[in-house]
Amino acid sequence: MLSCAGVPIKATGSRSSPINDKINVNKILGIESSCDETGIALYDTDAGLLAHKLHSQVERHRAYGGVVPELASRDHLRYLLPLIQQTLDQADLPLQAVDGVAYTAGPGLAGALLVGAASAKALAWALGVPAMGVHHLEGHLLSPMLDQTLELPCLCLLVSGGHTQLIEVRALGEYHNLGQSLDDAVGESFDKIALLLGLDYPGGSALEQLAQTATGGHYQFPLPMTDRPGCDMSFSGLKTHTITTYRKAPPEHRAEIAHAFQHAVIETLLIKTWRALQETGLQRLVISGGVSANRQLRRRFTQYFTEKGVELIFPTMEFCTDNGAMIALVGAIRLANGEREQLEINVRPRWPLENLCKIAQAGK
Ligand code: KG4
Ligand code: ZN
């Protein structure tokens, strides 16, 4: 038996678990429930993505200014099965067509993860097909593969609500962390500053829109930790600086402050990413996670790195934020790699990306 990160992985065809007996896995149902989006998708290893559905809990959590874990679990429970049915209906396929189930096993909120994991394992057991626990960040990282060719090795800048990391992708499943935020994640900082500016949670996209209306260069915010060597980052000091500046500024400077904050974040990410590319000698850059939907970030990175001859890859807009399609895709790749799980329900709220197994042969 193989073992990866303490999680037993059985060779294809093991008889000890009733969900291990399927060898050719073609249509994979993906279930994402790590935080506040219930994402379901059906992925075909030959035809690609067949259908996907998303239920966002934004409205449920808005009054609290952030995700309330218990409410998130309950909403996943409420929406997961109807969304699976809607996804199958969209693909015009019966449940019996599913021959593998992938779910987000971590990192994320324990209760929310458990809803997805328990549903996935129960479904897989009932259908007699394998289930595969997927690392949420591997989903973000490989999300461009949903509709583009992704050649490896590459560098990945992963910027989401919970993570900010620079990852050297040496091969599928072989990830090396080059640097990360030592405090707030970039998406989290966007959300906190958006709240300060009176925008609704989650405010990343609204802050970007407000910043667009700024007329001009009133503020120059510091670029945190760029004067220090290495690829680690920090955004909590920039957040404090933004709060202090906002409290002293006239009300009509709201957009200017949003612009200065966003500019400082993007320039900091740019400097650290360039450093990581120089350190590794890599010429290919993937930018994924919720914040990669930021159009100004896309514009600035494209302009800066195209001049330097770096190939830039972004996921399609709808797959930047959490979704079931990226989970189904990674599940398909790992199931094709011969990985199989036991029937026990294990989630990993904390799960270092570097503990994953290298993938010998990728699925299509
Ligand atoms: O990847 P994601 O959906 O969830 C996590 O895995 O965390 O990322 C959500 C984060 C939120 O913080 C949200 O405000 C941010 O991505 N985000 C944006 C934009 N769209 C989403 N941040 C900046 N600009 C955007 N356009
Ligand atoms: Zn995410």
Cα of 21 from ligand 1 centre, angstroms? 38
The protein residue whose alpha carbon is closest to atom 7 in ligand 1 is 161
Q: Does ligand 1 have an atom closer than 6 angstroms to the CB of 107? A: no
Q: For residue 130, how far is the Cα from the chain centroid?
A: 23
Which atom of ligand 1 lies at the shortest distance from residue 208's CA?
24
Q: What is the per-residue pLDDT across 15-48, written as a single tens digit (0 to 9) for each?
A: 333 344 456 899 999 999 999 999 999 999 999 9
Q: Does ligand 1 have an atom closer than 6 angstroms to the CB of 144? A: no
Measuring CA to CA, how many Å separate 316 from each of 66, 204, 290, 320? Answer: 26, 17, 11, 7
Q: What is the per-residue pLDDT across 280-310, written as a single tens digit (0 to 9) for each?
A: 999 999 999 999 999 999 999 999 999 999 9
Which atom of ligand 1 lies at the shortest distance from residue 185's CA?
12
Q: Does ligand 1 have an atom closer than 6 angstroms to the CB of 190? A: yes
For residues 23 and 12, the answer to whether their CB atoms sit within 8 Å is: yes
Sheet with 164-171: strands ordered across? 174-180, 164-171, 154-159, 284-288, 311-313
At residue 23, the pLDDT reads 65
Cα of 235 from ligand 2 centre, angstroms? 19
- The whole-model pTM stands at 0.93
Closest CA to 41 of 328, 336, 364, 335: 328
Q: What is the per-residue pLDDT across 183-207, written as a single tens digit (0 to 9) for each?
A: 999 999 999 999 999 999 899 999 9
Q: How far apart are CA 19 and CA 31, in angstroms?
A: 17
Give percent above pLDDT 90 in the chain: 90
Tell me the average pLDDT of the chain: 92
At residue 360, the pLDDT reads 85
Rounded to the nearest 10 degrees, how much is the dihedral formed by the CA atoms of 62, 63, 67, 68?
Answer: -150
Q: What is the per-residue pLDDT across 130-183, written as a single tens digit (0 to 9) for each?
A: 999 999 999 999 999 999 999 999 999 999 999 999 999 999 999 999 999 999
Q: And the tokens for 10?
A: 């059985």
Measuring CA to CA, how many Å separate 220 from each of 195, 237, 268, 354? Answer: 21, 14, 13, 37
Which atom of ligand 1 lies at the shortest distance from residue 161's CA?
7
Q: How far apart are CA 41 and CA 56, in angstroms?
A: 15
- Which of 165, 195, 291 to mutate for ligand 1's pocket (most ligand atoms within 8 Å of CB)? 291
At residue 21, the pLDDT reads 45
Any idea which ligand is nearest the CA of 160?
A: 1
Q: And the tokens for 324?
A: 């079931």
At residue 164, the pLDDT reads 98
More confident residue, 12 or 337: 337
Q: How far apart are CA 152 and CA 168, in angstroms?
A: 10
Q: How far apart are CA 178 and CA 168, in angstroms?
A: 7
Q: Does ligand 1 have an atom closer than 6 angstroms to the CB of 202? A: yes
Any idea which ligand is nearest the CA of 36?
A: 1
Q: What is the per-residue pLDDT across 85-114, written as a single tens digit (0 to 9) for each?
A: 999 999 999 999 999 999 999 999 999 999
Q: Does ligand 1 have an atom closer than 6 angstroms to the CB of 33? A: no
Q: Which residue has the tokens 């072989």?
A: 174
Cα of 188 from ligand 1 centre, angstroms? 8
Q: How far apart are CA 16 and CA 98, in angstroms?
A: 21
- Whether 80 has a pLDDT exceeding 80, the answer reads yes
Q: Which residue has the tokens 């279930």?
A: 31
Cα of 143 from ligand 1 centre, angstroms? 15
- Whether 216 has a pLDDT exceeding 80, the answer reads no
Sheet with 100-106: strands ordered across? 48-56, 37-44, 27-32, 100-106, 131-135
Mean per-residue pLDDT for 213-225? 93
- Which of 184, 288, 295, 321 to mutate for ligand 1's pocket (most ligand atoms within 8 Å of CB)? 321
Cα of 14 from ligand 2 centre, angstroms? 32
Cα of 293 from ligand 2 centre, angstroms? 12
Q: Does ligand 1 have an atom closer than 6 angstroms to the CB of 273? A: no
The protein residue whose alpha carbon is closest to atom 16 in ligand 1 is 290
The protein residue whose alpha carbon is closest to atom 3 in ligand 1 is 321
Mean per-residue pLDDT for 232-252? 97
The protein residue whose alpha carbon is closest to atom 22 in ligand 1 is 204
Closest CA to 153 of 167, 139, 136, 133: 167
Any idea which ligand is nearest the CA of 188?
A: 1
Give percent above pLDDT 70 in the chain: 93
